[in-house]
Amino acid sequence: MKIKSSEFVISAVSPKQYPDEGLPEIALAGRSNVGKSSLINKMLLRKNLARTSSQPGKTQQLNYYRINEELFFVDVPGYGYAKVSKSEREAWGRMIEKYMTEREPLRLVLQLVDLRHPPTALDVSMYEWLSHYDIPICVVGTKADKLTKNQMPKHAKIVRETLGMPKSQPLVLFSSETGMGRDELWSIIEQAADL
């Protein structure tokens, strides 16, 4: 994918604000700090387009980025912040649930997990929930640069087993530092978005 343009569009706090251009959407899900915004920046070869230190508590915004007038990346606030209140967590859940199950242009959810550690219980529930609704998922193992080449297969296996991924589903090993996995992920996105 050749990036001709990429721009921030809106931090949407309600569905009324979601863009209505009909472009395919690729959403990112994953716990807070897993590397969602960094992945967006790496995919777009931008240093700081997606803010990489979003504030805890701002749990209800979907950040839209438009790429080449062809598709949107949707950066979803991370789950698992210890400090977020119960009511905020519930509001987050309702917003995500509605977006993921009802958003017509949504083509693919990139579910990010930290490759260094086994997926958390929240990662597993998110994965099971998306699978249950037949929402197309691509699991991405982030921060691969923190592992040696030798460690990677073992960690990949633990991610696959903990999530219960079918063999046919790809697990992309990714690094926002080195660009590892970038080409593979673009080809998966292009296919999902029919580009």
Considering the rule CB under 5 A, would residue 175 count as an interface residue with Mg ion?
A: no
* Single-letter amino acid code for the residue at 16: K
Considering the rule CB under 5 A, would residue 54 count as an interface residue with Mg ion?
A: yes
Least distance in Å: CB of 167 to ligand GTP? Answer: 25
Task: Indicate the DSSP class of residue 16.
Answer: G
Q: Which of 126, 147, 30, 125 is nearest to 77 (CA)?
A: 30
Q: Which is nearer to Mg ion, 127 or 176 (CB)?
A: 176
Length of the chain: 195
Q: Which is nearer to ligand GTP, 52 or 162 (CB)?
A: 52
The residue at minimum Cβ distance from ligand GTP is: 78
Least distance in Å: CB of 38 to ligand GTP? Answer: 3
Count of other CB atoms within 10 angstroms of residue 56: 15
Considering the rule CB under 5 A, would residue 142 count as an interface residue with Mg ion?
A: no
Rounded Cα gap, residues 167 and 156, in angstroms: 12
Considering the rule CB under 5 A, would residue 37 count as an interface residue with Mg ion?
A: yes
Rounded Cα gap, residues 122 and 125, in angstroms: 5
Span interacting with Mg ion, options 1-9, 13-21, 34-42, 130-138, rule CB under 5 A: 34-42
